[in-house]
Amino acid sequence: MINNFIQIDLFDYKSIILSCLIANSLKFNIKLHFKMKKVVLIFAMMVFAAFAVNAQTEQQQAPPPPPENPNAPVITFEKSVHDYGTVKFEGDGKCEFKFTNTGKEPLILTNVRSSCGCTVPSWPREPILPGQSDIIKVEYKTNRVGAINKTITVQSNAKNSTEVLRITGQVVKDAETVTPEKPKALGEK
């Protein structure tokens, strides 16, 4: 029985020594791992810096913009903001923005987009000749109660190639009839 105890005791010493050796090798591996991370991080930063410097030099060598066309179309709106005022819930949310081509070449609207899906614009797809007018129709979906403050961005081939239109107002629900509560007696909850 004493022999077994000694063997177990020796076995424990061997396992302790073995675990110490393993722990030391783990420390070495961990230190090596952190050193590799530092090397990789420094290398990545150097590559990023090289690309940043290269991008800046390419940007400086960009060709100058073409000279402005004196005959280019110009889009001129009668109004850039439409105020609905107070609109009833699920009421009429339609409005129009009238514009004129005051330039000397045909005006082409390339894109008209709204700031959210609750505002749907429609615009003419054919060229608008110099001196002619047309309209951009906008429909705001009045199925949400609250303030209206949306933008419509108009892009075209005009000198003023991007114009921003706004719609404002307030959507309110009809006053609902409220049945008054029965007065409660003193001490009643």
Please report, for the chain, the start and end positions of each structural domain, with discontinuous segments joined by +: 1-60, 75-172
Q: Which residues of 53-70 are buried (b: 16+ CB within 10 A; e: fewer)?
A: eeeeeeeeeeeeeeeeee
In CATH terms, the superfamily for domain 75-172 is Immunoglobulins (2.60.40.10)
| Angle in degrees, CA 101, 151, 117, rounded to 5 | 115
This model's pTM is above 0.75 = no
Whether residue 82 contacts residue 168, with contact meaning beta carbons closer than 8 Å, is answered with: yes
Q: Assign 161 a pLDDT band (cuts: 50, 70, 90).
A: confident
pLDDT per position as a tens digit, 4-40: 444 444 456 566 666 665 555 555 555 555 666 777 7
pLDDT per position as a tens digit, 40-96: 778 778 877 777 766 555 555 666 766 788 888 999 999 999 999 999 998 999 999
| Residues whose CB falls within 8 Å of the CB of residue 139, separated by 6 or more in sequence, listed in order | 93, 94, 119, 120, 121, 122
Query: pLDDT value at position 39?
Result: 73
Q: Determine the longest span between alpha carbons in the chain, in angstroms.
A: 114
